Structure 1
Amino acid sequence: MKRAQIFSLDAFIALTLTILLIGTISATSESLRNAISSVVSWYERANIPDNMLDVLLKTPGEPSNWNEDLVLLKSIGLREEDSPFISYEKALMFFNLVENQNPLVLDFLKNLSSGKPFCFEFYLGVWNFTADFTWNPNAGGVLSEFEVYSGECTIRGNRELTFTDPTIIQCAPFDVRGSASISSDAPLCILGSVDTHGSLTITVGHYPPPAGGPYPYLAINGDWVITGAVTVNVGGNAYIGGALIVRGEGARTINIAKDLVIFGDNTTNPYLIDISGSATINIGISGYLPGNLYLKVGNTWYASNKTGEWYEWSGEGWRKVSEPPVIRTTGSSTLNINGYPLSETWSPPTPPPCFTAGLPIEVSSVNLDYTYPQALNRSEAWGRVAYFKNNFTVNLVEIPENASWVEYASRVVSVDMRKYNTTIEVTSNYTRLISGVLKYTPPAYARFEIRVPNETGYALFIIVDGEDTKLLGVVKTRVSPYVQVYLWTNATENVSLQKTYVGNETSVRIRWVDVFSEFSSETGKPIEIWIYETNFSHPIYIIDEYNIGLLLDRKYELGLVKLWVWDER
């Protein structure tokens, strides 16, 4: 074999191997390139939800106060400017802008998702309120001839309350303790039970009254429970809607110049007169002004016009009977009756007008609970933005079909729920109006005004005052031209009326400290005000005359954010 032929064969074999090696390297390079492209593509699409959440949840936006002025809006971020927490106000504005199809916001979101379909969901904890109440636009509420007591329903220490005009105290109960004095020159009507303790003096009118009057009355539409040293002087009649209950030791003297009428309707006590210890009750003034004792037991009336003598009304006349079984007196108690003859044409006494006025709005119960966002389902999302087929919607109406991939990301966030404005427009039900942590007790002079349209209607607000729940009812009835407000508390799961306010024809002013009670905690107290229900056809306005917002700190709640991103199909 020639030397040239051997060289040619070697060259051919080497060339063949080189070609095979180049082909193998080329194929491997193409596979690597495809794999790298696939990894890069996966990484890019996997980063879309995380990048979107980073921009929305970790930045305050540009400018940082974009929610106050959209003219300068460059980018949207939901974080507070000076804290790592989400701003409730920004989130609220964000979803409102999407719902209103604001083009600046929609273009921003579309660019953020690289034009790919996505669904963004925001979950907040849910307050669930349930209030049972009745509304009667024909009820008079506070009588026009009566003033309304707007002070505390729980009286403590050395206090003196003086009333010169007919006054209604709409407290249930009216709890008086310590050394207190209550005096009125005119009728005094308490619409709930009265619980008196300590050293107390109650004077209604003059005792004895001057000849020919006036004879102002004392009316208590519930139980009258007396404990401690009490002196009562009433220059006219006394009306009790429940029972007269006297307990404990000490000097107790009750002087009633005219009749004592006990209706017995609003009590669970088995005795309508239930006295223990040492007590003296004088009805009528011997030799000067007579007074009888009348008791209603079921539908039967009993009367006494002389100590120890009792009569039953048959409907046609009086017949003498033994003492009714609803009276119990023990110890050294005495019941002195200096009465007048019973008339055979007698008619049962009617309750005083303040008993029958009726409240336009009455609350019987309220319940509330809180559901954390992790326990909510998709239909309970607080806010949602979905982008499919070049369309935005605030509700999830469909999921892309035949999508080759979907990426998901979620975050648990802390949301700053502080919400406050000096003027708040109330137009819809079940809306949070004020929220935050109250740092200090509002001063006694701090007030806010509620303005209502000049029409018949009501609004019921629910108030979270630390661990207590309160309700505020604002009404405008067909009977009274004035705005009336009723404040209830829900202590120990029992709803009780605490205060009543009467304003002018369109507005009423209320003390902040009545709504958010005094407290001493150094960490502050969480507070909320919600509109539960309104049937006014026009907006209500809450106007803060003091700016309680200066006392409000941030209030945080957990939030949950979910984000899905699909491909373009």
Structure 2
Amino acid sequence: MIIGMISTTSTALKSEITTMVGWYERSNVGDDILDILVKTPGDPEDWETDPSTLIHLGLENPSYPDTIDFKKVEALNNAYLDNDDAIRRALLNLSMGRDFSLGLFLTKIEISGDVTVIPPNTEGSVDVEEESQVSISQTNGFAFGRPVIAEWMNPERSDAEGTGNIDHVINITAGESFVFKLTGDNTNVRIIVHEPGSGQPSRYDIPSGVVVHIDVDTGYLLIGWTKLSDGTYKIWIPYKPGNPVWTTWSGTIWWGQQGGVSSSDLNIRYVYATEVTHADYNITLVNGKFMYDPTEVGKSMEKSPWITYSERRVPMSKIVYSSQYTVAPSGLPKELYVGTIYNPIPEYMSLKVQFDDPGYIVMVAWLRGTNVSGYSVMAAYRGESDPTMRAIINQTINGNTIVKYYSSQSPDYIVIPWKDFLTTIKPGENLDVYVWVYKMSNVDSLTVTDLSGISTLMKPQTSLAVLRLRVWDEP
């Protein structure tokens, strides 16, 4: 009798122990899977470059320990969508044959709204040769030493001190442009050009209120300027008080309505992973096979006697870069560059934008750094009658907006300094950047090229990622 009771009790105890062990294994399987994913890089460590070589799956970035790698997250998702067998086997081993669904929620930048581009309207132009005599003034004749009045000028910099009532001198060198807008009361403004060997100078009347562009192709042009108390500018072109001078540059002077880029309807929002409602990527394995239909996934979960839920919040390192992109209108907005710039951008680093069609493209940069918060919108365009490639940058940094204008010597492309499109930082500061091609109007194909290797100044940007895992076992 006693022996029978002991035997019965022993059998019941064994059953309870077995049940408890099963429950313990189930309750920990999700945590074990997530630990392996976020704490190991996988085998081989660079499996994301060729997922077919994968033996063991892991998402950690070996170059930045304790972060998961965005490139591995993307590679996992792409292989899942392609029904890659190596990924399937690795996931099956990782889950020990159990069914599961992994949701990856990523911090992101959402961009929406419209950007309005009004290309400048060219009303006139004149080519300038070296060793000519050129002046822009408000009076007839070669009125050297007589200024014009401008609402604004770009660039506004001082390369040397002036003399007398001229405070600053700017040196516009080959490849640069100087742009200014005449005030509405600037009357009788003329460009006078006397080419070498010609008898009489040519005169070009400039309407008040227009924007004047001086594109320097070779040599250099010295311009004097002084900022007045009302915020306008006196500009002396060229800087040589009272005397005609032979030009030390060649290029083009053109004028017309300024055009512009309006981003008032543009909305750029930083969304934390914890605020994301729907997973950016879902990876589901049921009965050893990938499953893509959410309804079928739900039916499988309903059949299981148990479901466990696990979650991890981890830093994700992300860098997006290629030396050259070809972009089509169907893939917009197209993310081109993502990372953290950790050194000041040198003057020589630049971006090349190239397209063949008369039309325009818009690129947007989101900027956040040590002492920087804002965005930059660039429109590059070319017209039917004037095929010269031109660009406008409308940039808002820390609440202050500036507009910059550029011209190219080529009808096919334009080169923009990276520090102008992005912004400048000081040594020791960081700048997080996201850059998209946002809009293409009448342009079928766009090529964007980093000419100088800005990637040498970039490291991965770190943001929050949330991994949510459900594990079950369909009978």
Match among 544, 554, 560 for residue 466 of structure 2: 560
2:2 partner letter? L
Cα displacement string for residues 274-298 of structure 1 (whole angstroms, at most 9, x for unaligned residues): xxxxxxxxxxxxxxxxxxxxxxxxx
What residue is the counterpart of 1:530 in the other structure?
A: 436
What residue is the counterpart of 2:366 in the other structure?
A: 464
2:272 partner letter? Y
Structure 2: how far apart are the matches of 1:439 and 1:255? 39
Residues 1:130 and 2:112 are matched in the alignment: yes
Query: 1:363 offset after TM fit, Å?
Result: 4.1
Match among 276, 288, 304 for residue 403 of structure 1: 304
Structure 2: how far apart are the matches of 1:388 and 1:146? 72
2:353–2:414: 8 Å Cα contact kept in structure 1? yes
Match among 59, 74, 96 for residue 78 of structure 1: 59
In the alignment of these two chains, the number of paired residues is 401
1:412–1:559: 8 Å Cα contact kept in structure 2? yes
Judging changes above 3 Å, is the alpha-carbon distance between structure 1 residues 387 and 255 closer, same or farther for their aligned structure 2 residues? closer
Query: 1:523 offset after TM fit, Å?
Result: 3.2
Cα displacement string for residues 508-530 of structure 1 (whole angstroms, at most 9, x for unaligned residues): 32222222332214132222212
What residue is the counterpart of 2:84 in the other structure?
A: 102
Structure 1: how far apart are the matches of 2:172 and 2:417? 24
Residues 1:93 and 2:94 are matched in the alignment: no
Structure 1: how far apart are the matches of 2:383 and 2:42? 48
Instruction: Give the match's secondary structure for 1:67.
Output: helix
Query: How high is the TM-score relative to the length of structure 2?
Result: 0.71
Judging changes above 3 Å, is the alpha-carbon distance between structure 1 residues 462 and 117 closer, same or farther for their aligned structure 2 residues? same
2:366 partner letter? V
Residues 1:504 and 2:413 are matched in the alignment: no
Residues 1:386 and 2:284 are matched in the alignment: yes
What residue is the counterpart of 2:26 in the other structure?
A: 45
Match among 261, 269, 273 for residue 373 of structure 1: 273
After TM superposition, the structure 1 = structure 2 runs for residues 477-488 of structure 1, keeping only pairs within 5 Å, are 477-488=383-394
Match among 421, 439, 449 for residue 342 of structure 2: 439
Query: How high is the TM-score relative to the length of structure 1?
Result: 0.60
Q: Between Structure 1 and Structure 2, whose CA radius of gyration is higher?
A: 1
Structure 2: how far apart are the matches of 1:32 and 1:183? 90
Match among 152, 175, 179 for residue 168 of structure 2: 179
- Structure with more of its chain in strand, by fraction: 2
Instruction: Give the match's secondary structure for 1:542.
Output: strand
Query: 1:180 offset after TM fit, Å?
Result: 2.6
User: Greater CA deviation, 385-394 or 408-417?
Assistant: 385-394
Query: 1:549 offset after TM fit, Å?
Result: 1.0
Structure 2: how far apart are the matches of 1:254 and 1:515? 26
2:274 partner letter? Q
Structure 2: how far apart are the matches of 1:178 and 1:463? 35
Structure 2: how far apart are the matches of 1:461 and 1:147? 30
Cα displacement string for residues 487-546 of structure 1 (whole angstroms, at most 9, x for unaligned residues): 221246576531224363543322222223322141322222123234577553322221
Query: 1:65 offset after TM fit, Å?
Result: 0.9
Match among 427, 451, 457 for residue 551 of structure 1: 457
2:211–2:256: 8 Å Cα contact kept in structure 1? no
Judging changes above 3 Å, is the alpha-carbon distance between structure 1 residues 498 and 365 closer, same or farther for their aligned structure 2 residues? farther
Residues 1:65 and 2:53 are matched in the alignment: no
Query: 1:429 offset after TM fit, Å?
Result: 1.7
Cα displacement string for residues 15-61 of structure 1 (whole angstroms, at most 9, x for unaligned residues): xxxxx122112211111111111122112222221122122111111
Structure 1: how far apart are the matches of 2:211 and 2:410? 33
Query: 1:407 offset after TM fit, Å?
Result: 0.4
Query: 1:364 offset after TM fit, Å?
Result: 4.4
Instruction: Give the match's secondary structure for 1:37.
Output: helix
Structure 1: how far apart are the matches of 2:98 and 2:422? 49
Cα displacement string for residues 386-407 of structure 1 (whole angstroms, at most 9, x for unaligned residues): 2346552456344122321110
List alignment gaps of at least 5 residues for structure 1: 1-19, 162-176, 195-201, 225-229, 233-244, 257-351
Instruction: Give the match's secondary structure for 1:407.
Output: strand
Structure 2: how far apart are the matches of 1:35 and 1:147? 94
Residues 1:215 and 2:203 are matched in the alignment: yes
User: Greater CA deviation, 468-477 or 412-421?
Assistant: 468-477
Cα displacement string for residues 184-242 of structure 1 (whole angstroms, at most 9, x for unaligned residues): 9xxx9956577xxxxxxx995489xx996423445664799xxxxx999xxxxxxxxxx
Cα displacement string for residues 90-122 of structure 1 (whole angstroms, at most 9, x for unaligned residues): 112221221222221122213322332211111
1:422–1:547: 8 Å Cα contact kept in structure 2? yes
1:382 partner letter? D
Structure 1: how far apart are the matches of 2:230 and 2:169? 18
Query: 1:248 offset after TM fit, Å?
Result: 6.8
What residue is the counterpart of 1:449 in the other structure?
A: 352
Query: 1:443 offset after TM fit, Å?
Result: 1.8
Judging changes above 3 Å, is the alpha-carbon distance between structure 1 residues 391 and 531 closer, same or farther for their aligned structure 2 residues? farther
Residues 1:25 and 2:14 are matched in the alignment: no
1:366–1:490: 8 Å Cα contact kept in structure 2? no
Query: 1:556 offset after TM fit, Å?
Result: 0.9
2:99 partner letter? P
2:125–2:254: 8 Å Cα contact kept in structure 1? no
What residue is the counterpart of 1:518 in the other structure?
A: 424
What residue is the counterpart of 1:3 in the other structure?
A: none
Query: 1:80 offset after TM fit, Å?
Result: 0.7
Query: 1:353 offset after TM fit, Å?
Result: 8.2
What residue is the counterpart of 2:218 in the other structure?
A: none
2:447 partner letter? Y
Instruction: Give the match's secondary structure for 1:155.
Output: coil
1:540 partner letter? L
Instruction: Give the match's secondary structure for 1:48.
Output: helix
Structure 2: how far apart are the matches of 1:67 and 1:80? 11
Instruction: Give the match's secondary structure for 2:28.
Output: helix
Judging changes above 3 Å, is the alpha-carbon distance between structure 1 residues 214 and 417 closer, same or farther for their aligned structure 2 residues? same
Instruction: Give the match's secondary structure for 2:379.
Output: strand
Instruction: Give the match's secondary structure for 2:31.
Output: helix
Structure 1: how far apart are the matches of 2:467 and 2:426? 36
2:350–2:415: 8 Å Cα contact kept in structure 1? yes
2:75 partner letter? M
Query: 1:470 offset after TM fit, Å?
Result: 0.2
Structure 2: how far apart are the matches of 1:362 and 1:33? 74
